Amino acid sequence: MEESLTWGSDTGGASREWLAPREARPGPSLSSVLNELPSAATLRYRGPGVLPWGALEEQDEDEGGSIQAFVEATQKELLQDPRPSRELPWPMQARRAHRKSHTGNEVAHNSGSRAAHWARRLRRSREKMGEGWHTLQPWAWTLKRIGGQFGAGTESYFSLLRFLLFLNVMAAVLNACMTLLPTWLEGTPPGPPNPDTSSPCGFYNPTLQGLVTFPTQLFNLLSGAGYLEWSPLFYGFYPPRPRLAVTYLCSLFVTGLLSLLLILHRSVSGMKQTLLAESGTLTSYSHRVFSAWNFGLCGDVHVRLRQRVICYELQVELEEAVVRHQAAARTLGQQARVWLVRGLLNLLVIALLGAALCGIYWATEYTVELQENSFVQQTPLLKLLVDYLPSIFIAVFNFVLPPVFTFIASLEGYTRSRQIVLILLRTVFLRLFSLLVLLISLWYQITCGGNAEAEDCKACGYNYKELQCWETRLGQEMYKLLLFDLLTGLAVTLLIQFPRKLLCGFCPGALGRVAGTLEFQVVGEVLELIYAQTVVWVGSFFCPLLPLLNTAKFLLLFYLKKFYLFSTCSPASRTFRASVANFFFSLILLLALAVSAVPVLYSIFLIPPSKLCGPFQGQPSIWAQIPESIYGLPRAAQNFLFFLGTQAFAVPLLLFSSILMAYTVSVANSYGRLISELKRQIETEAQNKVFLAQRVVALSSGLGFG
């Protein structure tokens, strides 16, 4: 109130001064008042060298004196601005002048403090490292080209594919260093167990004897049996050595921890963009039109790509604005009808998901009965089909239901970005829980339904009659899922999508255009990647070379999808906000990592390891090898490691984490309140300036000063 009263008195005084003639008035001129408005600040945002309001009108009064004074003020502004040239929102010419002036100033006045000098060198080193890392990232230009031609949503798929490829390369290198190398450094691995060796848990002979036919070789390649079963590809190959057992288990935890940290880093960076997008701070039309252009672009190709990116962003804004306007214009009855339709559609989605999970469970249970059939065992092709029966059911449901979910989401009346989120959540629930249902049915067979006193599980703690090496059997299932997913993806792309595009050339007219028009389905393709990565996270403990196979798969997939995109696809008719999609992609990837950790940790802590294969033979559990190895360390190291697992360490850590979290939340809330208050002050200042400008213009035009 005090501020408004003061402004009111100033306004009254200014109005009396404006009554004087132009030559004699002592107050500020109209151009000086206009220079204080937000429009003048926006003009000066272009950088130094832009003439202020009224400079051309007053040029006649002062034959270039004001211009010379302005140039001197500009040079002074160039010299006094302490920020680096690349951080200034100026044109390239002004940035070069700023850099030259600062370079000359540093040469002439080389008396800066040592701390400032090293801080400047450190900042430049970080910038160079960032530029070098950006240069080393593969396919950077390809991603820019995809984003400019097909939108940022399609670019987000290839960006996620590159990130997952990096995770798999990292996991493959760690497994090679911590699993394969220790296996051969401690001596040549022994061969398969002798079938004549007697054991309470039966015998295990994975290799085939005699001449092997070509159909059998093909069956072994596709199912992971035969010569592949006793190879570095699977768990059972690795010998029972204490050091190898520790490194084998540690490789899993190190890979999981690094994957978690990298995904969290990607999620946090994406969350910042999502919050800005949802708040509307950087998504207004004025920002896109006036501030989204990069004046450092060189070349027609880069300029056209940037134009397309801005065009797609404006298209997203307009589409979502239309949907929000329609939602705001609904009456109460229309809103109730929309919520009723959404409730019914969600019930339909739940029914479809339940039917799919029940079908996968039935297929897994029925596979065991069919594998015991003598006719199936004598027919290699039928045996291969039976082994792949759960994978076939999972692939069919994953192929049929996502388009149904997409159609259902289009009927719910949400914005395109919200539809993408709903489709992601429903489809990822289908994919992840279908994998969990498969694993639950397998563990039901391994543990005899959880009954340790059953006849088949009493002697060894697991079903040794059907699964002599149950870890290798789980690795084979994950191997088949990964291989079948690759084969189905290749078949759909080469046998369905490419012929459909060719049909456009042979069928002129509307039929050819409808048949040949394809759009890149970002949601479905992203979920294919997340599903494949989840399979790798689950199976990497039982199949150590699975990350290496997935690396080759993702590398092939990148070039195949790139060729398919540029040769057969057209830009999407409906776009969505890429920042929201990137954040939810990382969030679902984090969820997939958490879901995949559950079955692996259950196997490590609760299921006894196989007695006839693997590096953990003779242990009551896989984790039991770690405490046994700790007892071999010095006393001080033992006490420290065991202290980390006690309540004396866990309780203070929990309290400290809670205090740190509460402090972080309180600081974030205070910053949020401060930002809201500053926004209100900006709005108030803008209203005051508009009022004053209107008064000044009205008075000046009434007295003939305009």
Query: Quick one: pLDDT at residue 298?
Result: 67
| Residue percentage of the chain with pLDDT more than 90 | 8
CA Rg value for the chain:
34
Q: Which amino acid appears at position 333 of this protein?
A: G
Q: Mean pLDDT across the stretch 557-561?
A: 89
Query: Quick one: pLDDT at residue 104?
Result: 56
Query: Quick one: pLDDT at residue 254?
Result: 93
pLDDT above 70 for 669: yes
Cα separation, 81 vs 99, in Å, equals 11
Look up residue 677 and give its two tokens.
Answer: 């208050």
pLDDT above 50 for 63: no
Residue 518 has φ and ψ, to the nearest 5°, of -125, 145
The residues pairing with 570 across neighbouring beta strands, listed in sequence order, are 519
Question: Any idea which residue has 């994957």 for tokens?
Answer: 259
550 — pLDDT class (breaks 50, 70, 90): very high
Q: Which of 75-84, 214-223, 542-551 has the lowest mean pLDDT?
A: 75-84
pLDDT above 60 for 64: no
3-state secondary structure of 161: helix
555 — pLDDT class (breaks 50, 70, 90): very high
pTM of the model: 0.71
The residue with greater pLDDT, 622 or 333, is: 622
Helix locations, 574-646, DSSP H: 578-605, 625-630, 635-643
Beta strands in 44-92, from DSSP E residues, in sequence order? none
The 10s digit of each residue's pLDDT in 92-144 is 666 777 677 666 555 444 444 566 667 777 777 777 776 666 666 778 778 87
Cα-Cα-Cα-Cα dihedral sign, residues 267, 270, 275, 277: negative
Look up residue 112 and give its two tokens.
Answer: 């800066």
Cα separation, 439 vs 474, in Å, equals 8
Cα-Cα-Cα-Cα dihedral sign, residues 382, 383, 389, 392: negative
Cβ atoms of 148 and 306 closer than 8 Å = yes
Closest CA to 153 of 314, 278, 309, 305: 309
Please give the mean pLDDT across all residues of the chain: 75
Cβ atoms of 220 and 480 closer than 8 Å = no
In this structure, the strands spanning 569-570 and 518-519 are parallel
Query: Quick one: pLDDT at residue 515?
Result: 57
Q: Mean pLDDT across the stretch 52-56?
A: 48
Query: Quick one: pLDDT at residue 7?
Result: 39
| Residue percentage of the chain with pLDDT more than 70 | 71
Cα-Cα-Cα-Cα dihedral sign, residues 395, 260, 662, 275: negative
Closest CA to 40 of 26, 55, 58, 27: 55
286 — pLDDT class (breaks 50, 70, 90): low
Question: DSSP secondary structure string, 472-494?
Answer: HHHHHHHHHHHHHHHHHHHHHII
Q: Hey, how many other C-beta atoms are within 10 angstroms of the C-beta on 668?
A: 10
Look up residue 123 and give its two tokens.
Answer: 């900042």
31 — pLDDT class (breaks 50, 70, 90): low
Closest CA to 352 of 290, 467, 433: 433
Question: Any idea which residue has 């009434």 for tokens?
Answer: 702
Query: Quick one: pLDDT at residue 404?
Result: 86
